[in-house]
Amino acid sequence: MMATPAHNKTLLSRLPVVRGRYIEHVDLSGSTWFRVGGPADVLFRPADARDLATFLTECPRDIPRTVLGLGSNLLIRDGGVRGVVIRLDGAFNEIEVSGTTVTAGAGALDVNLARVCRDAGLVGFEFMRGIPGTVGGGLRINAGAYGSAFGDILDWAEAVDGTGTMHRVGLDELEMSYRHCGAPQDWIFTSSQFHGQHGDQWEISARMQDVRLARKEGQPINTRTGGSTFKNPGNDIANGDSSELRAWELIDRAGCRGLALGGAQVSQLHCNFLINNGAATAADLEALGEEVRRRVHAHSGVMLEWEIYRIGEHDPENDLPELVLAKEAP
């Protein structure tokens, strides 16, 4: 159901008094890398972790809450997100270095964390240069690249759960593995501490430059995309999937490179990336992703698992697209 002003008036009047800000009817399409998606009923920007905890303690349980990072791993459906969408910025963006440890708020950008650590001569954060999200989003999925991931350098993380209780947990309690974090789904990360090692600033800088260039050459980073669409099945041995092939290879072998549906397309440059050619709806992107999964399964027997989070409601006025697929001429 789409939000109506009356619906939102009732919703706002039920929300607790906070020090942060509530904003109604916020278009979320500008908040994701795909540039698609419907509105949030209410967007909440907490003043700090205590304010977030107060909100979560006092917010009626039947009101859904969803936290957003930078929307770089997110497909928001065209009907938008009901309830309260939480965005962490301001006080949550802080980064502080002390010796070889670094504390970072959940709203801090990975790229900023990498830069601060470079300037402090700390090795181990270079991979973050290529991940266009926030620390909170990275913790949620144990983001990683080039053989390193958040879990390799994390000491502890702080989070607030759905009842407003604050937690600080060590790495071992988070059960991090390939693109997985075992923290309960209702936890909202607020802060974390990482460790690095002292190293040469120029070498760190050169490695970050290599990451930047590798991204530019191998990924459609200047398009509307959500990064890797599917997890690499070979890494998910725990779930019994032992394919040696990476997701992009399976997609390529199934003939999906360049496959298009409405304004959505499988990238020609990196076929584990879906792109919005400018006119895509979230429904186009999701249906194309499902079609890729179907074709890969038919071709290789592997059912790919979405890496991109898909949230929100379908727009009832914009039914799922008819499956008119096109393959771009080579």
Q: In sequence order, what are the beta bridge partners of 191?
A: 105, 158
> Minimum distance between the CB of residue 87 and ligand FAD, rounded to whole angstroms?
9
Q: In sequence order, what are the beta bridge partners of 260?
A: 265, 326
Q: How far apart are CA 285 and CA 38, in angstroms?
A: 14
Residue 72 in the binding site for ligand FAD (CB under 6 A): yes
Token output for 305:
């698992």
Catalytic-residue membership of 294? no
Q: How far apart are CA 111 and CA 286, in angstroms?
A: 28
Q: Which residues of 206-238 are buried (b: 16+ CB within 10 A; e: fewer)?
A: ebbeebeeebeeebbbebbbbbbbbbbbbbbee
Residue 33 in the binding site for ligand FAD (CB under 6 A): yes
- Residue ranges in 131-190 that form contacts with ligand FAD under rule CB under 6 A: 131-134, 136-138, 140-141, 143-145, 188-189
Nearer to ligand FAD, 132 or 196 (CB): 132
Residue 74 in the binding site for ligand FAD (CB under 6 A): yes
Q: Build a one-symbol-per-residue string for 90-119: x at contacts with ligand FAD by CB under 6 A, - elsewhere.
A: ----------------x-------------
DSSP 188-236: EEEEEEEE-EE--HHHHHHHHHHHHHHHHHHS-TTSEEEEE-B--GGG-
31, 192, 228, 243: which is the annotated catalytic residue? 228
**Number of residues in contact with ligand FAD under rule CB under 6 A:** 32
What single-letter amino acid sits at 293?
R
Q: How far apart are CA 98 and CA 152, in angstroms?
A: 19
Residue 247 in the binding site for ligand FAD (CB under 6 A): no
77, 179, 224, 293: which is the annotated catalytic residue? 179
Of 73, 192, 232, 272, which lies in the binding site for ligand FAD, with binding defined by CB under 6 A? 73
Catalytic-residue membership of 87? no
Nearer to ligand FAD, 238 or 324 (CB): 238
Reduced to 3 DSSP states, what percent helix, strand and coil does the chain have, rounded to the nearest 5?
30, 30, 40
126, 158, 286, 307: which is the annotated catalytic residue? 307
- Residue ranges in 181-210 that form contacts with ligand FAD under rule CB under 6 A: 188-189
Contact 208, 114 (CB under 8 A): yes
Catalytic-residue membership of 307? yes
Residue 70 in the binding site for ligand FAD (CB under 6 A): yes
Kindly list the catalytic residues. Answer: 179, 228, 307
What does the binding site for ligand FAD look like in residue numbers (CB under 6 A)?
Answer: 33, 67-74, 88, 106, 130-134, 136-138, 140-141, 143-145, 188-189, 219, 221, 225-227, 309
